[in-house]
Each structure stands twice: as structure tokens, then as C-alpha cells.
A = this chain, B = another copy of it.
Amino acid sequence: MAVDVPDLVSRARQGQPRAVARLISLVEGASPQLREVMAALAPYSGRAYVVGLTGSPGVGKSTSTSALVSAYRRAGRRVGVLAVDPSSPFSGGALLGDRVRMGEHASDPGVYIRSMATRGHLGGLAWAAPQAVRVLDAAGCDVVLVETVGVGQSEVEIASQADTSVVLLAPGMGDGIQAAKAGILEIGDVFVVNKADRDGADATVRELNHMLGLGESRSPGDWRPSIVKTVASRGEGVDEVVEALEKHRAWMEERGVLTERRRRRAAHEVETIAVTALRERIGDLRGDQRLGVLAERIVAGTLDPYAAADELVAAVTEDR
């Protein structure tokens, strides 16, 4: 069923939550009208400040997100929250039960909350999440918080697409090592040690300081990541997190880094969409005799997979 996209966009821009939700659904579901939606949103995007939040399970991510929403709301900002789960290969039943903790914001017209699960294929979320951010941006959110659930590569990829990346840790979880493993030290602009009322918080801060110092040699002009201690469940330290975020934002704006990051992000986004489109063209050949014949020859040992891939690429790029 065709949707009246200009009307939907105009209603989203007036702040109607159902219009915003509908637009995200169109984007997430890769609707045939996706292109129309994105074209209609383009002039209104690029205003929101996009903050990525990442961290291992148990560090208090959704509590921290919720506390950040409260802090920004107190400052009169409109806030969008996108909670994405890149760890599940099957969409739908993402473990987002803890979303209920965001309940306090559910009736606030200045807050949009949305959960997304992966679309069942690699690169699915990397592709859909930036589009959903564009919707929230165009709908007038001043800040969009992108919270990733789970750990791993996609998480790093999604977080690295934010203007500012926040990495959450908690004391005594061996997080230093985990963070190093997931490559999260490299992407963190602001580190938050949550549950700072627990034993070991200072040790975690020290370890973090140490590891950040060990990182690839920073140039003198580079951003030195902030480290903030919080007890998100009691709102402690959350204003300091907002301060650290604003400091990083100001630092980026002064140096033109924000625009540079956004350009890189846009380039990456375009690449992802283009790769997805080409992948789909290849997928379209799945029902085709050609791929079946190539696979048979590989199994028989009369063709190697690279030579077969050459034929497939030729079929995709020359058949048009």
C-alpha cells in the first residue's frame, strides 16, 4: 500500500510520534518507498547531534541511556533513542525487555524511543540504523542516542558512525581487556565508568587511563578521551557525561572535525547502500541456472571459486 510520503514527512516534522514511527518502519522494512522517504528527508537532516552508546551486557546501558535522556530533557532538548541489537541473526525477538526501564519517558512528547533488531543478514543494521537516525534527525530531535545491545564487530561499526561515541564500562568486569578485544578503545570519545559506587571503580579508571595512554601515539591536536564516573541508577555523574559530550562536540566543531566525521559517515553509508544493492543483484542470480552450474563445477573440482566469482561479477555488471 503506497504511503503519502510528503504528508508523512510533514507530520513527522510537526512532531507527531506516529508519523515518526511509520517512517522508521518504512526505512527498517526496506519499503519500496524507501528511496522516496530518504529523498524527502534529505533537506531536513544533519542537525541532530548523534551519540553512540556501547558497552558489554551488565554495565547498565539502558539505565545510562535513560538517565542521559532525562538530563537532555531537563536542558529542553528533544531526544531520539535508537536501541539496536546487532548480535541476533534473527529479527523480531531481540532481548529488549529492559526497554521497559525507559518507561518513564514513554509519555514525554519530546522523546522518541525505537528498538531495531538486525534484518537477518550481515550488514543489515549497519545499513538501516543510519536511515533511522535520519528520520529522528528530520523529526527535529536535537540529540539522537544510538544504543547498541550486545558486543562485536557490528556494534563497533554502528558506534563509529556517531558524532561522539560513548563507551560504558563497569568495575570488576575485566572490561579493559574486553574493550581492547572489541576495538572499542579506538572508537571511544567519552568513557563512562558506571556503577562507580562499587569496589574497583577507581581501578577501572586507572586501567582505562593506562590503556588509553598506551594506544597509538596521539598527535598533540588529537582529542584526549574523557573518563566520567557515574551511578546512572541514581542519576549521579550524568550531568558530567552531558558536559563531556558537549565539550567533545565543541572541540569537533572548532576544528571542522564534526563535518569531516559526517562526510566520512556519509561516504560509508553510500558505500554500504551500494554494496547492498550489488549484493542483491548477485542474490537475484540465485534462482538462475548460472550460479547452480558454477557451484556444481566447483564441487566437482573442475572450477575454483575465484574463477567462478569472476563469471558472477561479469554477469552482474555487464548484463545491464
Contacts and interface: CB of A to CB of B under 8 A. Distances in A.
A264 B316 CA distance: 19
A309 B42 contact: no
Interface footprint category on A: 35 or more
A286 B43 CA distance: 25
Given A42-B302, A301-B44, A295 B275 contact: no
Nearest to A319: B317
Instruction: List the number of copies, as a whole number.
Output: 2
Contacts of A123: 122-123
Interface in A59-82: none
B39 A304 contact: yes
A42 B270 contact: no
Given A312-B271, A313-B277, A45 B266 contact: no
B153 A303 contact: no
Of listed A157, A267, A292, A318, residue having the most chain B CB within 10 A: A267
B122 A313 contact: no
A304 B38 contact: yes
A181 B95 contact: yes
B270 A275 contact: no
Pick the most buried of A122, A298, A304: most chain B CB atoms within 10 A of its CB: A304
Chain A facing B: main interface SS: helix
Interface in A294-308: 294-296, 298-308
Given A34-B306, A282-B275, A296 B181 contact: no
B45 A301 contact: yes
Contact of A301 (B46, B270, B278, B310): B46
Given A88-B182, A267-B286, A259 B306 contact: no
A42 B298 contact: yes
B298 A153 contact: no
B157 A273 contact: no
Interface in A87-142: 87-90, 93, 95, 118, 122-123, 126, 130-131
Contacts of A306: 34-35, 38-39, 273
A122 B87 CA distance: 13
Nearest to A312: B274
B279 A266 contact: no
A156 interface: yes
A75 to B, nearest CB: 25
Nearest to A300: B46
Contact of A270 (B93, B151, B271, B308): B308
Given A259-B299, A267-B291, A270-B308, A154 B122 contact: yes
B89 A153 contact: yes
A264 to B, nearest CB: 7
Given A35-B304, A39-B307, 9 more contacts: A35-B307, A43-B301, A89-B153, A90-B181, A122-B153, A130-B305, A271-B279, A271-B312, A273-B305
Sort A-B residue pairs by CB-CB distance and give the 4 closest, nearest first: A273-B309, A267-B295, A266-B298, A42-B304
